[in-house]
Amino acid sequence: MTKKELWQSILAKLQSQMSPANFSTWFSNTSVAETQNDLLEIYVPNNFVKEWVENRYYNQILKILREINSGISQVKFIVGRVNTNIKERTIRSSKKNKLIEENQLTLQNISIDPKTNLNKKYSFENFVVGPFNQLAHACCVSIIQNPSSSYNPLFIYGNVGLGKTHLLQATGNEILKRYKNLKVKYIQCERLISLIINSIKNQNIEEMKNSLLELDVFIIDDVQFLSGKEKTQEEFFHLFNFLYERNKQIIISSDRPPKDLSIIEERLKSRFEGGMVVDISMPDLETRIAILKTKCKERGIELSDGVLEYIAENIKTNIRKLEGAIIKIAGYKQIYSENITIEKVKDILKSYIDHNGKATLEKIIKVTAEMYDVKESDILSNTRKKEIVKPRQIVMFLLREELKMSYPLIGRKLNGKDHTTVMHACKKIEDELKVNKDLYEEIELIRQRIYC
């Protein structure tokens, strides 16, 4: 049995032991690393998935591995991407014992420059401009034409999945292409936080800062994660000032405008607001169709206008979700070579489409329980077990946020909980979201499932 076959066997067992939603979320984008040792190394897409799988499913996977008795006794999860096409198998059970839905997710050859952290796949050629992002795009074009003299700093904000990262990286790539002598660096805020913390711990903060002080263009993605990080904010403030005073270009993104950034020093907010602040909103229907056409071209598939319109009408809020839909359709088309009709798309994308996307009390409880592998009855119970308290608090928070329920009503709906308990839970989750990236991503996943 090859390592790929071994991992497929493990996935088949896992799928029979968990909900389809959880299996799809945590295991559909995994693949086997080509190694020669006796260790089973598995690629996962990011640190968030790595930590979640290790904390929640590692023992379960080891148990299955021992049952299979393959001679391999250890599993290691690696955050990484493979520079070749990888066949990702999503296994589903069926009454006829057919395993198989083999979904070809083609991971593009990704070239990330270690000096700049820029990914060459992000360009203006494959960036779709519409009314929702036109101003942000125009500001970036102006900066490319004349760095540091147009908008400095440029602060771009908008919800998750609307193309902020693409625009930032495309801008960095274009500046490098035009000005070979400029030093450009793109960095995700959580990575910057990690660098600063480690540098302070290792007593080499000056060395780390000096490497950034040489930059001509500094691009920081998801700056909202500075919330609550006092020491990091202090170092970032000095770095920002040093670059700004020397007329170096600074570009920043966030999921909210500067004034709404919480637990961030006023002097930093003031710096952010001192340049150009622009938002990226939800794409309109025509732009969503244009984005779908671009993604189809990248994947080498053709879909009828009717199919594209159906997808665009039903996936309204997230460009990433549009791309995910095209990847799923491309995988289906490659395997089955069938003509893709609207009816076929309805079946392929039944977990993506928004037309059933109405939040209800029952759905919020169900999805949250599935996410954390607990029973719905436990969430409604009075148990104080740690593994139940967190999902229950998230349910309370979502009932408040998504359904706008009052605290007393939430308490009554959740089996007579006191309204002060509900208030405390909502405040706790709200505060933790400002500083806990993992919780933020977990709740975003829950929201996506609620509205799909």
Q: Is the pLDDT of residue 193 over 80?
A: yes
Residue 270 sits in the same domain as residue 158: yes
Residue 97 sits in the same domain as residue 64: yes
Question: Does 59 map to a domain?
Answer: yes
- Full domain range(s) for residue 335: 285-348
Residue 253 sits in the same domain as residue 293: no
Question: Does 115 map to a domain?
Answer: no
Give me the number of domains the chain comprises. 4
- pLDDT of 420: 92
Tell me which of 234, 260, 279 is where a domain ends.
279
Count of beta carbons in the 10 Å neighbourhood of residue 353: 19
Residue 161 sits in the same domain as residue 266: yes
- pLDDT of 69: 66
pLDDT (average), residues 276-295: 92
Residue 112 DSSP code: B
CATH number at residue 165: 3.40.50.300
pLDDT (average), residues 308-312: 92
At 335, is the pLDDT very low, low, confident or very high (cuts 50, 70, 90)?
Answer: confident
pLDDT (average), residues 159-186: 93
Segment 62-73, tens digit of pLDDT: 888 888 866 777
Concatenate the DSSP letters of all residues of 206-275 into one string.
HHHHHHHHT-SEEEEE-GGGGTT-HHHHHHHHHHHHHHHHTT-EEEEEESS-GGG-TTS-HHHHHHHHTS
Facing residues of 78 across strands?
Answer: 43
Question: What are the φ/ψ torsions at residue 58 (nearest 5 degrees)?
Answer: -60, -50
Segment 376-417, tens digit of pLDDT: 999 999 999 989 999 999 999 999 988 888 899 999 999 889
Separation CA 87–CA 330 (nearest Å): 13
At 181, is the pLDDT very low, low, confident or very high (cuts 50, 70, 90)?
Answer: very high
Question: Does 328 map to a domain?
Answer: yes
- pLDDT of 14: 87
Q: Is the pLDDT of residue 95 over 70?
A: no
- pLDDT of 355: 47
Tell me which of 325, 348, 371 is where a domain ends.
348
Segment 254-274, tens digit of pLDDT: 989 999 888 889 999 999 999
CATH number at residue 414: 1.10.1750.10
Tell me which of 259, 279, 299 is where a domain ends.
279
Question: Does 125 map to a domain?
Answer: no
Separation CA 103–CA 233 (nearest Å): 43
Per-chain mean pLDDT for the chain: 84
Question: What are the φ/ψ torsions at residue 252 (nearest 5 degrees)?
Answer: -130, 145
- pLDDT of 397: 95
Highest mean pLDDT: which range of 36-40, 71-75, 337-341, 413-417? 413-417
- pLDDT of 249: 96
Residue 425 sits in the same domain as residue 329: no
Residue 267 sits in the same domain as residue 291: no
Lowest mean pLDDT among 75-84, 99-108, 245-254: 99-108
Question: Does 162 map to a domain?
Answer: yes
229 residue type, one letter? K
Residue 414 sits in the same domain as residue 313: no
Q: Is the pLDDT of residue 103 over 60?
A: no
Question: Does 404 map to a domain?
Answer: yes
Q: Is the pLDDT of residue 88 over 50?
A: no
Count of beta carbons in the 10 Å neighbourhood of residue 374: 18
Residue 321 sits in the same domain as residue 369: no
Q: Is the pLDDT of residue 82 over 50?
A: no
Question: Does 122 map to a domain?
Answer: no
Residue 304 sits in the same domain as residue 207: no
Q: Is the pLDDT of residue 107 over 50?
A: no
CATH number at residue 91: 3.30.300.180
Q: Bigger pLDDT: 358 or 228?
A: 228
Residue 191 sits in the same domain as residue 161: yes
Q: Is the pLDDT of residue 142 over 90?
A: yes
Residue 293 sits in the same domain as residue 270: no
Using a cut of 0.95, tell me whether the model's pTM lies above it: no
Q: Is the pLDDT of residue 356 over 80?
A: no
Q: Find out whether the peptide bond into 114 is cis, omega within 30 degrees of 0.
A: no
Q: Bigger pLDDT: 73 or 201?
A: 201
Question: Does 443 map to a domain?
Answer: yes
pLDDT (average), residues 418-426: 93
pLDDT (average), residues 19-40: 77
Question: In a 10 Å sphere around its CB, with 0-12 CB exposed, 13-18 middle and 19+ buried, how is residue 302 labelled?
Answer: exposed
CATH number at residue 300: 1.10.8.60
Structure tokens at 406: 């009052």
Residue 174 sits in the same domain as residue 257: yes
